[in-house]
Amino acid sequence: MKTFTLEQIAQITGGMLTKAADVAITNIAPPMLADENTLALALGEEEITNLSSTKAKAALVPLGVNIDGFTTIEVERPRLAMMKLISMFYEEPRVNSGIHPSAVVASTAKIGQNVSIGQNVVIAENAVIGDNTKILANCYIGNDAVIGSDCFFHPGVNVGDRVKVGNKVILNHGVSLGADGFSFVTENPNNIEQARKDGEIKEQVTEQVIFKIPSIGSVVIGNNVEIGANSCIDRGTIENTVIGDNTKIDDLVMVGHNCRIGKGCMIVSQVGIAGSCVIGDRVVIAGQAGLADHISIGDDTIIAAQAGVTKSFPAKSIVVGAPAVPRKEFIKQLKIMKDAGELIAKFKKYEPLLKSFEDGVNDGVNEGEAKA
């Protein structure tokens, strides 16, 4: 069991210890789940209120929160401090030392120093595994793949042929790198091509053979990248699909063939990025957003959750809606819809008067025609 003093925790988190309670910290938890040896995490208003009922003797709180008679560690950035705390108590999955007897490692593969290869792992011909990399059970590393140093691959990762992975990369359960891209062609123009050209489907669509376009490119993953469980990054058709340094990808994300994603991006769960997109540095794409193929997204752009992005956007855009538009335009649209709702309500209120007026006008016209 890991144990820390409050002084050690304050030093590691960069916080200010307001009162030194004599307690050894063995765990961290929200206030209502904390006991005497747990550091309560009171990062928001509700948790701070709950400190009055906690069994904990000490808490991590935002800077400026003072509680009489209670030991606190005040921090300027609570979430950053929480990350440091969790890292202190975190225990990595257990790994075996060296190569497990059930692993299959090709004779031509090059394995670095202090590498751990788990049960039923397959390392194919001419693959290269860097120093200190850990590959857990049931992973597959393809022919001529190059894996950097200090990587950690959770169980069930599949790395295709010729894929290159940088240093300090984390691949979570079930990640697929380097599967063939979703790329097909028909002998004659199909309904998709008609729709793109003319905005409608004019000609009669007949059954055609759909030919698969093989992918001869690969995937290149930069340094310090993390990819979440069951995410898929397809190899390029001719060029490589590229993920830049320090980019973090959540679970269940799909990155299509030929995409180029920049450095320091954050891509949240269930995002789908179609083929040949170019995404700049430090772009944030929130959950369930979808990007059409062959579009460009500039640096430092934020794409909101469930946005349907059908066109390119410049740097520092904030993109909302489906079809996606700049945030200011989206707010304008909402205001127009609100105003329209109020106008409709007023119209319905005065509709009987309008009908009465129209009936009166019609009666007058009919009377005039009768006299004529």
Residue 361's pLDDT is 59
- SS3 of the chain: the string is CCCEEHHHHHHHHCCEECCCCCCEECEEECHHHCCCCEEEECCCHHHHHHHHHCCCCEEEEECCCCCCCCEEEEECCHHHHHHHHHHHHCCCCCCCCCECCCCEECCCCEECCCCEECCCCEECCCCEECCCCEECCCCEECCCCEECCCCEECCCCEECCCCEECCCCEECCCCEEEECCCCEEECCCCHHHHHHHHCCCCCCCCCCCEEECCCCCCEEECCCCEECCCCEEECCCCCCEEECCCCEECCCCEECCCCEECCCCEECCCCEECCCCEECCCCEECCCCEECCCCEECCCCEECCCCEECCCECCCCEEECCCCEEHHHHHHHHHHHHHHHHHHHHHHHHHHHHHHHHHHHHHHHHHHHHHC
Q: Are strands 16-17 and 71-75 parallel, antiparallel or unpaired?
A: antiparallel
Residue 196's pLDDT is 76
Quick check: 75 and 17 in contact, CB under 8 A?
A: no
Report how far residue 202's alpha carbon sits from residue 191's, in angstroms, rounded to the nearest whole number. Answer: 9
Closest CA to 303 of 279, 327, 285, 281: 285
Supply 239's token pair.
């060029």
Report how far residue 82's alpha carbon sits from residue 59's, in angstroms, rounded to the nearest whole number. Answer: 11
Of the candidates 100, 154, 173, 257, the residue annotated as catalytic is 257
Report how far residue 48's alpha carbon sits from residue 354's, in angstroms, rounded to the nearest whole number. Answer: 59
158 beta partners: 140, 176
100 noted as active-site residue? no
Neighbours of 338 (CB within 10 A): 10
Report how far residue 263's alpha carbon sits from residue 247's, in angstroms, rounded to the nearest whole number. Answer: 6
Quick check: 28 and 89 in contact, CB under 8 A?
A: yes
Residue 323's pLDDT is 92
Q: Are strands 170-171 and 226-227 parallel, antiparallel or unpaired?
A: parallel
Digit-by-digit pLDDT tens for the chain (372 residues) are 789 999 999 999 999 998 777 889 999 999 999 999 999 999 999 999 999 899 999 999 999 998 888 899 999 999 999 999 999 888 888 899 999 999 999 999 999 999 999 999 999 999 999 999 999 999 999 999 999 999 999 999 999 999 999 999 999 999 999 999 999 988 877 777 777 777 777 767 678 888 999 999 999 999 999 999 999 999 999 999 999 999 999 999 999 999 999 999 999 999 999 999 999 999 999 999 999 999 999 999 999 999 999 999 999 999 999 999 998 888 888 788 787 777 788 777 777 877 777 666 565 555 555 555
pTM score: 0.83
What are the backbone dihedrals phi and psi of residue 30, each rounded to the nearest 5 degrees, phi first? -60, 155
